[in-house]
Structure 1
Amino acid sequence: MVHRIIEWSLQNRFIVLVLSAALLVWGAFAIKKNPIDAIPDLSENQVIVFTEWMGRGPQLIEDQITYPLVTNLQGLPKIKYVRGTSMFGMSFIYVIFNDDVDVYWARERVLERLSTVSRSLPTGVSPQLGPDGTGVGHILWYTLDAPEMDLGEQRALQDWYIKFALQNVEGVSEIASFGGFQKQYQITVDPNKLLYYRLSVPEVMSAIRLNNNESGGRKFELSDIGYIIKTSGYLQSIEEIENIPVKNQASIPIRVSDIASVQMTGETRLGIFDQDGEGERVGGIVVMRYGENAAAVIEKVKAKMSEAAKGFPKGVKFDIVYDRGELIQESVDSIKHTLIEEMIVVSLVVIIFLFHWRSALSIIIQIPITLAASFILLNAFSISSNIMSLTGIALAIGVIVDNGIIMSENAYKHLSQRYEEWQEQQKTTSL
């Protein structure tokens, strides 16, 4: 069979050259299309469901949220298993599907089931799906270098400006904020004063909630001019909260300031983010969407960061803590250097031992064609260009080169023998 292939190839050299050129062009397009990442994605095909119920202990979260969700999500089609984790104020459910299931199909099935399960959960509790990213989706970490801003202002800048700007980048699933303080108005109620004025905590909460509202009226026309009537009642300062009336007793209003103290503070934190032992920092984590090209997404995120930095206050700038793009570039550079080294070594070996430049050229041509064909197969099996796949290609190049050298040496040997036999025949004929 091999002899027939070789014979047909020798008889149809033009067709072989055209097919080789077509394979090389197809492979070049495959290289551009193939997603590039530093590490292979070996994570499970999972959908994360998280639920917040702040202020509750892990056991209560387990009994009233985690257990009902786990038991109801187990009947989904094409599912492997369901894992649940309960912690203070939070519940995480990991729904693991079969590897051949499309992740967005799986998310739709989970959403359908959650629409019916939510009825059995406590009032005000709403389960949510996690980002459509994988376990290795953290492609870039950054912090804010803002020495003249406090941690609360930095977190506000991150949550209300930077996060919205970077989330619009194609291929980004989520921007997870960390560090700093999330500003909030905190009302500390004095229980003795509540007892004295015969009030309850729900009454105080209801009064504050009703006074933090905005409502619309109607359109009023006067002298051919239309006026829009509305009521603006959003709370904007500590003084406004303190002056909210909770209840009237003997025609005397009891305000929030009479029973509680109001202050601007940060939400209770369970940890801090310290960078290089130089103090706390505020920043974010860029989570890549499932199946995206990590190198392309990182490049787009950096371009958006440069654009968003133009709107920063004076003295504020980005500080990139972790960038997978550097590791990706090193991997790509490694395979390039390996190719160049292999071509040089092969050329020298063939030329030195065979003194035949055409044999060296035939081996060198095999390397880019084989490399291009390997990327066609990578795309066919949905495998990205990462450390493992590129290392395998680099190792395979050595095998390709070895085979090329052996075949060239073997062909050169047989051709030399045939040439010697032909010369002997010519001498015999002439005699």
Structure 2
Amino acid sequence: MVKKLITFSLKNRFVVLLISACLFGWGIYSVQQNPIDAIPDLSENQVIVFTEWMGRSPQVIESQVTYPLVSNLQGIPKVKNIRGASMFGMSFVYIVFEDDVDIYWARTRVLERLNYAQRLLPQNVVPTLGPDGTGVGHVFWYHLDANGMDLGEQRALQDWYVKFALQTVPGVAEVASFGGFEKQYQLVLDPLKMQYYNVSMMEVMNAVKTNNNDVGGRKFEMSNMSYIVRGLGYIKNIKDVEDIAIKNYNSVPVKVKDIGSIQMGGDLRLGIFDENGNGEVVGGIVVMRYGENADKVITAVKEKMKEVEKGLPEGVTFKTSYDRSELIEKAIESVKGTLIEEMIAVSIIVLLFLFHWRSALIILIQLPISVSIGFILLEAFGISSNIMSLTGIALAIGVVVDDGIVMVENAYRTISEKQEEMDNNQ
């Protein structure tokens, strides 16, 4: 079989060169299409269900949220395992699917089952699906460099401007904010004043909730003009909260400021984000969508950040905290450098020992085609180009070089011996 293959190749050199050129072109296309990442994705094929019920203990979360969800999510097709975790105010349920299951089919199945399971949860407790990313999807971290700006203002800038802009980048599943303070209106009530005016906590909560709202009226016509009546009631500042009326006491309205004080503060924090011991900063984590090209996503995020930076307040800029593209580029450069070094070394060795440039040319053609076939197989089997696969290719280059040198030297020696026999016979 091998003899016939060699004979065919020698008699049909043009066909062999054409096949080699096609494989090389296909390899270049596979390199461009194959997702490039630094870290191999070994995470499980899972869907995360997150439920928030602030103020409740882990025991209450476990019994009223986590357990009903885990019980009702069982039975979904192609599920390997379901794990639940409860903590203060939060519940996490991890549904692990078989490896060959499409992630978006799995998310749809989980969402269908959640529509039924939500009826068993407490009122106003809504479970949500986590982002469609993987365990290695945190590809880019950044923070704001804003000297003199309050941490609350930085967090508001991140949550209401930067985050929304970066989430529009193709391949980004989520931009998770960190650091700073989430602004909120805080009501500090005086129990003695509440008792004096006979006001309960629920009455205060309902009054604030109902007054922070717009209401719609109807349209009426007057003097050939149409007017639409609306009630504008959204809270804009602390004074608006203070002037909210709760009830009447001896025909006098009792307002929020009569039973307590209002202040602007930050939400409860479970940790801080510090930059090299220089103080707190505010920023975000870019989570890549499942199966995307990390290098392209990071490049697109950086381009978008240049546009977003133009709209930031004066003196506010972006700083990179973690950039995986640097590791990706170094891994690619390592493979390129190894390939070039091997090609130069082989050429020198063959020319020194054989003094035959065509023999060196054979190996020089063999190396890039072999690497191209490797990327074709990576693309065919759905394996990303990462440190592990690129290292394997770099190591394989040495084996290919050794084989090429042995085969060329053997062919050169055999041809020389045959030529000597023919010369002696003549």
Give 2:415's aligned amino acid: L
- The alignment partner of 2:187 has SS state of strand
CA positional deviation for 1:230: 1.1
CA positional deviation for 1:249: 2.0
RMSD over aligned Cα atoms? 0.9
CA positional deviation for 1:174: 0.2
| 1:6-405 paired onto structure 2 within 5 Å | 6-405=6-405
* Unaligned segments of structure 1, at least 5 residues: 427-431
Count of matched residue positions in the alignment of Structure 1 and Structure 2: 426
CA positional deviation for 1:260: 1.8
- The alignment partner of 2:214 has SS state of strand
Cα offsets for 1:186-245 (capped at 9, x unmatched) = 012222322232221111111111111101112333333332221101111212211211
Cα offsets for 1:60-82 (capped at 9, x unmatched) = 11111011111111211100111
TM-score of the two chains, using structure 2 as the length reference: 0.99
Cα offsets for 1:49-70 (capped at 9, x unmatched) = 0000001111111111011111
Q: What is aligned with 1:429?
A: none
> Residues of 2 paired with 1:200 and 1:229: CA distance?
33
Give 1:97's aligned amino acid: F
- The alignment partner of 2:142 has SS state of strand
Counterpart contact for 1:217–1:231, Cα < 8 Å: yes
Give 1:99's aligned amino acid: D
Cα offsets for 1:222-275 (capped at 9, x unmatched) = 333332221101111212211211111221211111212111111111111110
Cα offsets for 1:114-134 (capped at 9, x unmatched) = 000000000110000000000
> Residues of 2 paired with 1:394 and 1:4: CA distance?
32
Cα offsets for 1:147-175 (capped at 9, x unmatched) = 02100000000000000100000000000
Give 2:32's aligned amino acid: K
> Residues of 2 paired with 1:177 and 1:424: CA distance?
83
- The alignment partner of 1:32 has SS state of helix
> Residues of 2 paired with 1:223 and 1:375: CA distance?
76
Give 2:420's aligned amino acid: E
Give 1:391's aligned amino acid: T
Counterpart contact for 1:142–1:322, Cα < 8 Å: yes
Deviating more after overlay: 186-195 vs 174-183 = 186-195
- The alignment partner of 1:69 has SS state of helix
* Unaligned segments of structure 2, at least 5 residues: none
Give 1:185's aligned amino acid: Y
CA positional deviation for 1:33: 0.8
Matched, 1:3 2:6: no
Give 2:191's aligned amino acid: P
CA positional deviation for 1:95: 0.6
- The alignment partner of 1:110 has SS state of helix
Counterpart contact for 1:45–1:98, Cα < 8 Å: yes
TM-score of the two chains, using structure 1 as the length reference: 0.97
> Residues of 1 paired with 2:221 and 2:331: CA distance?
70
| Percent of aligned pairs with the same amino acid | 64
CA positional deviation for 1:372: 1.0
Deviating more after overlay: 213-222 vs 105-114 = 213-222
Give 1:37's aligned amino acid: D
- The alignment partner of 1:394 has SS state of helix
Give 2:113's aligned amino acid: R
